[in-house]
A and B are shown apart, each in its own frame.
Chain A
């Protein structure tokens, strides 16, 4: 099975940077995903890492260390619209996704 941990809540100021950590213990690994989810809506894809290192995509970056079972999502130049839940998900060899409980990020003016 999969065990995925991420912080429950984080608060940051508009324009700041926030880093959301995710640690995982898995029986099979075939990639790590980050999704953004606004209340009452389906998750939207943010990033995908399968190899170690940093993937940068505009204001969002994601890092993976497979040996440490660790990933983080970095949100830069925070905007009010970034207030949402951020889900870390690990994919196994059968392409099934296991999700962490999600981190609620609140951006304050």
Chain B
């Protein structure tokens, strides 16, 4: 099956700094990539949808200036959490879609802001 990777798998950063998370589709070209956030014991919440070469579409309540998304190629999307705060600590998961097929999820990135 299709493989999506994320890097890093875990990151700890200090409050006020920025963190970049990469999402790559390894064996297919992803027309669309999605970014989710999951707090402990809660379900996945969609943050934004990104298409290669265009601006990301953010869900209501998600600050686009805080969560910067870049989808530079058909195999790479990045999420940058700017000026991170402890409340941004969460499990961030990306997924990638190839044409009309299902979404394939990455392994997730555990972000801890101290």
Residues of A within 8 A of B (CB): 33, 35, 40-45, 48, 87, 94-102
Contact = CB atoms under 8 A, between A and B. Distances in A.
A99 B93 CA distance: 13
B110 A40 contact: yes
A44 B32 CA distance: 18
Contacts of B49: 94, 96
Contacts of A35: 105
Contacts of B93: 42-43
B15 interface: no
Contacts of A45: 102, 104-105
Interface of B: 32, 34, 42-46, 49, 91, 93, 95, 97, 100, 102-108, 110
Contact of B103 (A94, A97, A100, A102): A97
Given A43-B44, A99-B45, 19 more contacts: A40-B110, A41-B107, A42-B93, A42-B107, A42-B108, A44-B105, A45-B105, A87-B44, A94-B49, A95-B32, A95-B97, A96-B34, A96-B46, A97-B34, A97-B44, A97-B46, A97-B103, A98-B46, A100-B43
Given A87-B43, A87-B44, A99-B43, A42 B106 contact: yes
A86 to B, nearest CB: 11
Contacts of A100: 43
B64 to A, nearest CB: 17
7 contacts: A40-B108, A40-B110, A42-B107, A43-B105, A95-B32, A99-B43, A102-B43
A70 B100 CA distance: 23
